[in-house]
Structure 1
Amino acid sequence: MQQSRLISGSGDRGVPREAREGARGRRARRRALRTTRRIALPLPWLAAVAAAFTLTQLALVVPGLGLGWDETVYVSQVSHQAPAAFFSAPRARGITFLVAPVAALTTSIGALRVYLALLSGAGLFAALWVWRRLLPAPVLAVAGALFASLWVTLFYGPQVMPNLWVAYGVLAATGCFLRAVRDPGDRWALAGLGAGVALAALMRPTDAVWLVLPLAGAALIVRRHRIRPRLRLLLLAVLAAGLALGCAEWVIEAYVRYGGLFARLERASEIQGRLGWYFAVDDHVRALGGRTLCRPCDVQWKHPVTALWFLALPLLVAGGVWAAARTRHRAAVVLATVVGSALAAPYLFTVGYAAPRFLLPAYALLALPVAYGLVRFCVACGLVRLSRIRRGWRPAVLTLVAGAVAVHLAIQYRVLEGVAGRVRADTADYARVAADLRAQGVRPPCVVTGTEAIRVAFRTGCASRQPSGHDASVTPDELAAMGLREPVAVLVSGDRDAPGYARGWRPHSLPDLGRVTGYRAYLSPAAFP
């Protein structure tokens, strides 16, 4: 009797045991239902991830980060700071359109960085929000956190580069495709599908092709009872329309400036080192140590720990697919895996060099199966209160998961710190060079050519022109004639001599640019200090 009272408690005296257990069971079920509903709400989860992504960029990346070489080309197309730089065949103008509202109004790089940081956070939220009816909110939050915690994602969030925006486009388009298949009456899903494909195509047309191919294949091979013929045709039409709309500007420019679409594709392949069969997986592994461009990527693999997550990615993706194999989320996880793999394949096997940003679209999609597998693993081990708790496993598994997350974040932070630090040092070096040239009389209207001409010219307010190479847009004779009318600076480094047309011009030593030593300028007669 005493033991019975200790178990039941004094407040339950006189109440039948069955009734007490029934009330307790109902209360437990209500608490579990409320907890499940709170967990299922996607808005707070995704908003928290997007806010953390934005704040981390503002704190760790944005301060003091000047424009890189590619960024300078894109921004110069709409900025009033300097004439537009040469726009080569592989480039698309989508990212220029995205930054035009700010770049056309102010020359402040800080304002541009803050604008892109805020916009990239909103973009991450919107792309994940599309999936709210397809995958559980915790899975989406973990996927967003995994993707946003990569140093590559954080570094390129506030940068004037197209790859992150391609990632958002493919993530949204794939989610909308699944929603349209699940609910043919969802008009917003079809519109989102077209918009996602168009965004990806506007940023990088070739990436959009590798997005459309697996989605079109899925539309064709999925069983008839899942996709009716009318919906099948509608999906294919939307994919084609989105691709055509996004690529329209690039194709028109091909005929206006390059003599046709195939001529531009040929020139783009030439600039990229001739596309063909390459095994570039090892190049991407080495580049993850903090190289924004590894070309040629014959460097030593000094920090293998930075690529552990990359090497583990195939196994984690396979685990996520296996975890979803017998659930209602199978189609979403499998399609995300297929499309993500299709987007990664060209850069891993057809391009002979590596840049971590190339794989951002693939990472965005592959984060979904990885997150699904991790969440299911945590649920099975009782780390999330949605199933039976295995108390014996819980402390060990919790410690393991927390330790893995901490190590991952520490590695990503160290790499990010190193990359951003190098860019900040370059920013200061280029500012000194530009100030030195202005003091020597190189002021607008003016022209800069030679080593690192694009970034120096933009900061000086000059046009950048090259007589040779991929960006050739002027002849040596034309540069010599320009030097008589306006200041022209020919930049050389090391033991290189001045080109023939500039050997009689005034030499001037410049501050070195990191590894670019012996940096100097040959100034035309029109430049007076």
Structure 2
Amino acid sequence: MAEALNATTAGVPRGGLPARAVRSRRARGEPRLGAVAAAFTLAQLVLVRPGLGLGWDESVYVSQVSGHAPAAYFSAPRSRGISLLAAPIASWSDSTVLLRIYLAVLSGLALYLALRVWRGHLRPGVLALAGALFASLWVTLFYGSEAMPNYWVAIGALACVGCFLRARADARDRAARWGVCAGAALMAWMRPTDAVYVVLPLLALALRRPRRPLLLAVPVAGLVAGAGEWVIEAYTSYGGLAHRLSAASAIQGGLGWHLAVVDQLHSLGGRTLCRPCTGPAPNPAVTLWWFALPLLAVLGAVAAVRARRALPVLLPGACAVTAAVPYLFLIGYAAPRFLLPAYALLALPVAHGLVHLVTTPAHRARRTLAAGLVATGLAGHAAVQYVVLEHTVHSSAVSRADWARTAAALRELGVRSPCLLSGYDAVPVAFAAGCGSAQTAGHDASTTVAGLARAAHRAAFAVLTPPRGRPPAYARAWPEQRAGVLRAYVAPDARQGR
């Protein structure tokens, strides 16, 4: 009975196939998934390149486990999952190249394992296409080797939803239950609130089977396990869970009704953060895939319903919708990485819809025409993604190189470890220079002017401003120096004895 159910959900005839045939079919899909994952890793190393310096948020996350520089201020919305994931390299080496290679290889392996979970639910061709669609997006390629949490939420979502379907189909599948727990824990370990939105459809579906309490308990247990450290830290460092959630909401502009769909559309041209999101929208060729995405997902869902194997296509689509809701309607700015979990889950119904377009026509000539059109569209889509990726990598490399030059200039001015920076771009520059960072205002406010004055007597201290910016009142009498592309106001005590 269980084998017949698994065969039906995988798209084989309703009468079912022998277990040996199902296993053979799964085995045939392994090389395709491995090829997709290997190509994804290689593309990151070739197109994004390991020498790309650390970004602003990366500097915060990596500094928590690095011996190269003091830990930067850790604001309320952040979670320590990605810091711990980077720790095997960052804890003993300050090599960005080594960290990038490690994360690229790890992200490719994780993609393979997450896709492998779905072998019993989708045909090998559909599954390989879904993996290729997700892996070829510029935002996936860019963030796969970044020390950022969003890609890993996407991987956890893929694994959690796929294992949930397995556990629902077979109550004796203990491995699937552990997979649900691990996927939910990975998401919550990286971004607790994102994890809750992703699993909402799973919880709703589990409630329909009250005689299977483990279906409800296992994802909840995963959320609790993954978010436990974040909740404990809320009480030890942020004044309680309610205060941390409130502070996180304030940093994100106040959670509530915000129509951020247009902002997300603007970010598709390669803007890693759209806050504020002004300026013209990207070329329609860059955004066309975004409008096609829901249409193809609906097509895949309709085809799955007609074929009576709806759940493996509808459930990831539903989880993608709940994952996207907060970033489309509840915050007032955009970053393309926020939607990575939604893209990963939507890739499954989209791939199902594309395969349906190619295989449905009864006449061979029509199938050939459909296949040609789909292949042409996918080739054009891949070309656009490459162009946007190249632009994003270039613009990111320029700003990160500027931070490195500023850090080198500060060292020449005598600002060396132990040292402290404040002001404009202080967080990434401080990490590059091996200094600590502190701010008296803004989202990263962690000290007072009096605290900075005391620190200036204990360590080298400088305030950074943009070329035409004005320093704070307490630093206006300090010597002004050029530090790379920025201006540095170095405390007199910082240069004494150095």
TM-score by length of 2: 0.93
Q: Cα distance 1:38–1:333, how it changes in 2: closer, same or farther (>3 A)? A: closer
- Aligned residue runs from structure 1 range 20-419, under 5 A: 41-221=28-208, 227=209, 229-231=210-212, 233-381=213-361, 390-419=363-392
Work out whether residues 50 and 101 of structure 2, in 8 Å CA contact, stay in contact via their aligned partners in 1.
no
The answer (yes or no) to whether the contact 1:214–1:339 under 8 Å persists in 2 is yes
| Residue 406 of structure 2 is aligned to residue 436 of structure 1 | no
- Residues 40 and 137, structure 1, Cα contact 8 Å, conserved in 2: no
- Distance (Å, rounded) in 1 between the aligned partners of 2:463 and 2:433: 13
1:327 is displaced (CA, Å) by 2.4
1:523 aligns with 2:490: yes
SS at match of 1:521: strand
State the shift of 1:39 in Å: 8.6
Corresponding residue SS for 1:527 = helix
The alpha-carbon distance between structure 1 residues 39 and 478, as it changes in their structure 2 partners (threshold 3 A), is closer
Identity rate, percent: 56
Q: Give CA-to-partner distance per residue, 1:271-302, whole Å, 9 cap, x none.
A: 00001001111111110011111011122113
Comparing 303-312 with 433-442, greater Cα deviation is found at: 303-312
1:22 aligned residue:
none
The answer on whether the counterparts of 1:480 and 1:502 sit within 8 Å (CA) in structure 2 is no
For residues 297-356 of structure 1, what are the alpha-carbon distances to aligned partners after superposition, in whole Å with 9 as ceiling and x for unaligned? Answer: 122113222111111111101100011113243111011111111111111110111110
Query: Are positions 1:488 and 2:461 aligned together?
Result: yes
Separation in 2, partners of 1:200, 1:420: 26
Contact 1:128 1:171 in 2 (8 A): yes
Secondary structure of 1:325's aligned partner: helix
Give the CA deviation at 1:37. Answer: 5.9
Q: Is 2:457–2:494's contact at 8 Å kept on the other side of the alignment?
A: no
CA distance in 2, matches of 1:391, 1:170: 38
Residue 503 in structure 1 maps to residue 476 in structure 2: yes
Distance 2:432 2:424 in 1: 15
**Structure 2 unpaired stretches of 5+:** 1-19
Please state whether the residue corresponding to 1:393 is helix, strand or coil. Answer: helix
Q: Which position in structure 1 is the counterpart of 2:5?
A: none
**What's the CA shift string for 1:138-186, capped at 9, x where partnerless?**
1110000000000000000000000110011111111111111111110
| Contact kept? 1:40, 1:138, Cα under 8 Å | no
Shift of 1:197: 0.5
Return the alpha-carbon distance in structure 2 between the equivalents of residues 299 and 265 of structure 1.
32
Q: Which residue of structure 1 lines up, in the alignment, with residue 421 of structure 2?
A: 448
Letter in 2 for 1:524: A
Asked if the contact 1:483–1:524 (Cα under 8 Å) also holds between the matched residues in 2, the reply is yes
Higher gyration radius (CA): 1
In the superposition, the TM-score normalised over structure 1's length comes to 0.87
- Measured after TM superposition, the shift of residue 504 of structure 1 is 2.1
Partner residue in 1 for 2:438? 465
SS at match of 1:509: strand
SS in 1 for 2:306: coil
Cα distance, 1:394 vs. partner? 4.4
Do the aligned partners of 1:62 and 1:158 also contact (CA within 8 Å) in 2?
no
How many residue pairs get aligned? The number is 476
TM-superposed CA distance for 1:212, in Å, is 2.4
- Once the two structures are superposed, residues 386-410 of structure 1 have per-residue CA deviations (whole angstroms, 9 ceiling, x without a partner) of xx6x332244333312211111011
Change (3 A) 1:433 1:494: closer
Distance in 1 of aligned mates of 2:205 and 2:90? 40
State the Cα distance separating 1:481 from its structure 2 match: 2.6
Unaligned runs of 5+ in 1: 1-32, 222-226, 382-387, 513-518
Coordinate RMSD, CA, aligned: 1.7
How far 1:63 sits from its partner (Å)?
3.4
2: CA distance, partners of 1:495 / 1:429: 16
Does structure 2 conserve the Cα–Cα contact (< 8 Å) formed by 1:117 and 1:157? yes
How far apart in 1 are the matches of 2:308 and 2:113?
A: 23
1:440 and 1:527 in contact (8 A); partners too: no
Q: What do residues 411-431 of structure 1 show as CA deviations (whole Å, max 9, x unaligned)?
A: 000000000011111222122
- Partner of 2:164, secondary structure, is helix
What SS does the aligned partner of 2:480 have?
A: strand
- Would you say the 8 A contact 2:134–2:347 is kept in 1? yes
